[in-house]
Amino acid sequence: MATSSRRFETSAALFILGAVLLAACGDSSTPVTHVTKTSATFAEQPGAIPNYIFPLTPGQFYSAANVFQFQYLLYRPLYSFSTNGQVQLNSSLSLADRPVYSDGGKSVTVTLKGWRWSDGLPVTARDVQFWQNLVAADKAYWPAYVPGEYPDNVLSTTISAANPLQITFNLDQAYGSYFFTYNELSQITPLPQHLWDKESAAGPVGNYDQTPAGAKAVYAFLDSQSRSVGTYDTNPLWQVVSGPWRLKSMDTEGNLRMVPNPEYGGPVKPTLKEFDEVPFTQETVEFNRLRAASSVSNTAVDFGYLPADDAALKGSLSGVYNLDPWTTWSINYVGVNFTNPVSGPIFSQLYFRQAMQDLVDQRRLIDKVFLGYATPTYGPVPITPASQFVDAYEQGNPYAYNPTSAQALLQANGWTVKSGGVSSCAKPGTAAGDCGAGVKQGQPASLSLQYVSGSPRVTAEMNQLVSDFALAGIRIRLSQASYDAVLGSAVPCTPGAACTWDMAYWDTPWIYSPDYYPSGDQLWACTGSAASPVYAGSNVGGYCDPQAEADIAATESSGLIQPMDSYETYIAKALPVLWVPVPDYALAEINKALKGTGPLDPLLVICPENWHWS
């Protein structure tokens, strides 16, 4: 699908999934000294208000505003992967002990810790099974769904007769523990079956989820209730939670107030008496609210943001706020269309993609366009934060900026290079030194690039790419469109249908969440036959490569290091897209007296139960 659940917008161009400022979840319980404040206020970004509470969230509502700054506070996932700014399983914050694999990886047993819902009843294996049954029956609505993977790869679940806290997932094949824990079990959020397993507001609670028809009816009911934002305060469905916070009040404008859940079983209990979120119609309104603060005790917003296009003004709030740039577990890229009947044959030549990547000056873009608030992308695994997943080859930047190399690559493969002009294919054919299959005699290196409108920063970034590509005679014709229009056009071409796009940039880095193990199955997978390929949900350019398929499969069925290194190195070399810098997700401005907000979490998780005043 074009609008992936994994793309989250920077503050420069508001993304439908909802850009937000978020803080880290840690394990510490630092002593609190209250000064004058007992609550904290968090700034929502324009167009990014929470408006869906049910954790089995359909794609149009799967936003950072809903999932990570709202639902996560109320309903904890089965497993947490936020650990002090790193991406790794956080056992202390998880609702279950570490999963235990057996039968060579074809079975996995999960044992819950016995934490309680806010009504005092325990979170049990039945609550996990309830989620499983709902997502299996309604997977078409689940934006993390990949055909053949979760929930398809779970053949059945078995709750232990002796232990109601233990559930076993019986799988369709052997899976590596990293893949299945980080990418499949990671998608599960236990739901209160004892309250939600009903088909209507007036109907009784039952076991309707245990048949596909019943599960569909339950999902339809809960979905309908979740779309009625104005009733969240009074609807009894939403009053029972598992997280550290419970809802106090909420309206359709985005005003949200939460108070601590005294039954929360996690290691860190809230010390703030209230946590509030406030909406803003424009970034400038929020920024002016920050500038109006006269002291750390006199702030209308305690956790806000500096708009990315105003990064040069970073010193204007230094008296009250600390600036904390926030990087995420993300990669960023310009999509290229392998399926375009005219430009596709050009993009299909590895040497041409290598030449283009040699012309992307990421360091200049970071320094001049992003004013230092970005990190490079060198391949399919994020370079930051540091992790066990990224290998030395990718970290070494295989395609450092080198216009001379780009020119030489084109010349060695049959192109007449015209720096500052338009290069053209002089030697069509498939022999060594020719332009390659499908590239025609005299075909120009002239390509279109549509990008999202509305941000001077993005325009500057695209203009820099145009200048750099021109050094090897690759002419880029720029055009702007709305975010929805860019993603709506950037889909693989189908025979007989109009499809003219060459390159596309939507300014929304891909974040690996809720599949945290960066295996690439949603990005580069291509199954089926050559005549009838089936592309992964976010394989917008129609990239197909048998070696990539084999490497992706190995990351899912084997251990961590060797398969991931092989996959990562191959994709970094093969360039299914053009790598570009990842902008910092936000330039957070945090009240100097508000502690416990960092390190900012790369998975976009907010945990105000850690926040305190001192």
Residues 212 and 284 in one domain: no
DSSP 485: H
- CATH code of the domain containing 336: 3.10.105.10
Q: Is residue 235 part of a domain?
A: no
pLDDT score, position 331: 98
Residues 561 and 592 in one domain: no
Give the chain's residues under pLDDT 70. 1-35
Residues 452 and 539 in one domain: yes
- What are the φ/ψ torsions at residue 300 (nearest 5 degrees)? -80, -25
Q: Is residue 356 part of a domain?
A: yes
SS (H, E, C) 391-437: CHHHHCCCCCCCHHHHHHHHHHCCEECCCCCCCEECCCECCCCCCEC
pLDDT score, position 35: 53
Per the CB < 8 A criterion, the answer to whether 96 and 77 are in contact is: no
SS3 call for 287: helix
Residues in contact with 2: Cβ distance below 8 Å, sequence separation at least 6, in sequence order: 487, 488, 490, 491, 538, 540
- What are the φ/ψ torsions at residue 345 (nearest 5 degrees)? -60, -30
Residues 385 and 338 in one domain: yes
Q: What is the distance between the alpha carbons of residues 420 and 517, in angstroms, rounded to a whole number?
A: 42
Q: What is the distance between the alpha carbons of residues 281 and 317, in angstroms, rounded to a whole number?
A: 21
Q: Is residue 234 part of a domain?
A: no
Residues 370 and 463 in one domain: yes
Q: Beta strands 446-452 and 475-481: pairing type?
A: parallel
- CATH code of the domain containing 217: 3.90.76.10
**Tokens read off for 607:** 């945990």
Residues 353 and 489 in one domain: yes
Per the CB < 8 A criterion, the answer to whether 209 and 218 are in contact is: yes
Residues 105 and 211 in one domain: yes
Range of the domain at 171: 96-227
Q: What is the distance between the alpha carbons of residues 216 and 565, in angstroms, rounded to a whole number?
A: 41
DSSP 295: B
pLDDT score, position 5: 38
CA distances from 587 to 312, 368, 417, 584 (A): 11, 17, 42, 7
- CATH code of the domain containing 19: 3.40.190.10
Instruction: Give tens-digit pLDDT for 362-414.
Output: 999 999 999 999 999 999 999 999 999 999 999 999 999 999 999 999 999 99
**Tokens read off for 114:** 């016995």
DSSP result, 94-143:
SSBPPPEEEGGGTEEEEEB---B-TTSPBP-HHHHHHHHHHHHHTGGG-T
pLDDT score, position 11: 31
Residues 106 and 210 in one domain: yes
Of the chain, the end-to-end C-alpha distance in Å amounts to 46
Residues 506 and 360 in one domain: yes
DSSP 385: S
Per the CB < 8 A criterion, the answer to whether 419 and 407 are in contact is: yes
In total, the chain counts a number of residues equal to 614
Residues 337 and 320 in one domain: no
Residue 540 one-letter amino acid: V
Residues 77 and 111 in one domain: no
Q: Which of 172, 199, 227 is where one domain is finished? A: 227
Cα angle value 572/573/575 (rounded, 5°): 75
* Backbone region of residue 371 per phi and psi (left: phi > 0; alpha: psi in -120 to 50; beta: other values): left
pLDDT score, position 527: 86
Q: Is residue 237 part of a domain?
A: no
Residues 478 and 334 in one domain: yes
Q: What is the distance between the alpha carbons of residues 389 and 566, in angstroms, rounded to a whole number?
A: 11
Per the CB < 8 A criterion, the answer to whether 472 and 359 are in contact is: yes
Question: What is the domain count for the chain?
Answer: 3
DSSP result, 263-330:
T--SS----SSEEEEE--SSHHHHHHHHHT--BTTB-S-SEEEE-GGGGGGGGGGTTTEEEEEE--SE
Q: Which of 197, 227, 257 is where one domain is finished? A: 227
Peptide bond into 546 cis (omega under 30): no
